[in-house]
Amino acid sequence: MIYLTGDTHCGADMGKLDTARLTSDDKLIIAGDFGLPFLPSDIEEYEASKGEVGEYSHWIKYLREKPYNVLFIDGNHDNHDWWSEQEVTEMFGGKVQVHPHAPNVIHLMRGEVYTIEDRKIFTFGGAASTDRGWRIEGLSWWSKEEASDDEIETALENLGRHDNKVDLIVTHTLPKSIIAQIPMFSSKLSPCRTADFLNEVLRRVTYKKWYCGHFHTDLDIPEQRVTVLYNDVVGITD
C-alpha cells in the first residue's frame, strides 16, 4: 500500500511516522522538505563520526531501520546542491536517487512519471522559500529550489508519453491558481515559478488525486481533488 505525508524538516516533524503502522509491503511518500541532509555540517559530522554522532546521523539511522521504503520529493528546504551531486539511477520506471546513507530512502525526482503499486504517479518537487531573505545561500537556502527550464521540459515530455494521464500527482507546492483560492494560503502568495508551472500541469493533465506538502496544515480541497498534508499520514485505497 502507498502512504503519503507532509514535510519532515530534517527530523523536526518526523514523529508522525511513529503513529503509522507500515510494513515491509508498504511505501511511504514524503511530499517535500525532507531535509536529510540539510546543513553542509550534517554531512561533515556524519562522515567524521562514521554515522555515530549528531542529529542527522540519528534520523538517517531511524529511517534506515524502517521495514518499508521511504520515498520523497524535494521541497524548498532541502540541500539541492548536495542532491545534485548524487548518482542518478532508475527505479519504478523513472529516474531516482538512492540515499547513500540509507538504501531504503529514495528521492523521486522532478518531472518523472513512476509506476508504483500499479499506479502512475507524477512528481515535481520544489517551491520558492518565502523566508529566503533570512537564510544564507549555500548554507540554508539553495537557488535550485525552484523549477528549471530543463525540469519543466522533462516533465512535459514525460507526461506527454503517458498521454497526460496519471493516477496521482505529488508536488511540494500547489498550482498558483489553487493557492489563490484559499485564504489561508493566498495571504502568503509570493512569486513562485514552480507554482506557475503547476498551473500548466493542472490545465493539461487528467489525474485522480493530487497531494502536496509545504503549507504546514492538513486540508482537503474536494473540488480540485487535492489533499494538503503535514501531520497526517494517509493511505491510498482506491
Please tell me the total count of domains within the chain. Answer: 1
Burial zone of 93 (CB within 10 Å; 0-12 exposed, 13-18 middle, 19+ buried): middle
**Bond before 37 cis per omega within 30 degrees:** yes
If one compares 206 and 181, the residue with the highest pLDDT of the two is 206
Q: Quick one: pLDDT at residue 189?
A: 76
Residue 9 has pLDDT above 90, yes or no: yes
Q: In this predicted model, what pLDDT tens digit does every residue of 72-89 receive, in sequence order?
A: 999 999 999 999 999 999
What pTM was computed for the model?
0.96
Domain that includes residue 64, residue range: 2-236
Q: In this predicted model, what pLDDT tens digit does every residue of 173-184 receive, in sequence order?
A: 999 999 998 888
Distance of CA 53 to the CA centre of its chain: 26
- Looking at the DSSP bridge assignments, the partners of residue 31 are 73
Please, how many CA atoms are within 13 Å of residue 72, restricted to the half-sphere of its CB?
A: 29
Q: Quick one: pLDDT at residue 182?
A: 87
Give the three-class secondary structure for 4. strand
Q: In this predicted model, what pLDDT tens digit does every residue of 25-71 receive, in sequence order?
A: 999 999 999 999 999 999 999 999 999 999 999 999 999 999 999 99
CATH of the domain at 129: 3.60.21
Residue 238 has pLDDT above 80, yes or no: no
Residue 120 has pLDDT above 90, yes or no: yes
